Amino acid sequence: MRDRGIYLLPNLFTTGALFAGFYAVVQAMNGRFEHAAVAIFIAMVLDGLDGRVARMTHTQSAFGAEYDSLSDMVSFGVAPALVIYVFALQSLGKIGWIAAFVYCAGAALRLARFNTQLETVTDKRFFQGMPSPSAAALIAGFVWVMVEYGVEGRDVRWLAAAIALFGGLTMVSNFRYYSGKEINLRKSVPFFVILLVVLAFVLISTSPPEVLFGIFLLYGLSGYGEAVMRFLRKRKLAKTSPALNRDNEPM
């Protein structure tokens, strides 16, 4: 039986993301934390492209799906955990590596849950738990901001531990996060959408560390906000339902 070939184009993007994650670890070990943070963001961009390229070129494969998942574990699980550990958490001793491990384990569990629920998810508009690339971007953005302002890692070690724990636990939570999967890049859009994209690029280019960290921090909190809104809506509905039932009772 002849071996089936491997699609090159989408797997090139996946390999690039894997290399960026590995490069982030190497740069963190050498104390170049800004380079490490940027590499994680590059891995995030490449990871977002490989799946779309595979779907647009009809080159999806089981190999590509497995390869992408393993690449994600390195780039968005191991790499961010090691970067923030070397930058700030190692000064906390045992607490530091536990916080880093919680993040790493959260990424592994998040990816495993995502892979096993691919066929059962009905609402594609939302992810269950914070996506691992977004959690990695939160970690990378935090490190990048601290480096940008000349803040030593040991001076913000407790904040770094809190962010690592927040990212790890939020990835395995049941909070819903907007996926953006219904966005179709091949459809026409109004002019103001293009204008917003241009303004977004301008905003990010003015101060990348602060803007990117702010964006992913707000995204990380959005799941909690959405859960609170759903809870309040259910309470309001529960209060109005008995009143409606009483009004409909026969005299």
Residue pLDDT, tens place only, 19-73: 999 999 999 999 999 999 999 999 999 998 887 887 788 788 888 889 999 999 9
Q: Residues 40, 21: contact at Cβ < 8 Å?
A: yes
Query: Where does residue 33 fall: left (phi above 0), alpha (psi -120 to 50 degrees), or beta otherwise?
Result: alpha
pLDDT in tens, 122-180: 667 888 899 999 999 999 999 999 999 999 999 999 999 999 999 999 999 999 998 87
Sign of CA dihedral 63, 68, 71, 77: negative
Q: Is the pLDDT of residue 243 over 90?
A: no
Confidence (pTM): 0.86
pLDDT in tens, 80-125: 999 999 999 999 999 999 999 999 999 999 999 988 887 676 667 8
Residue ranges and CATH numbers for the domains of the chain are: 8-247 (1.20.120.1760)
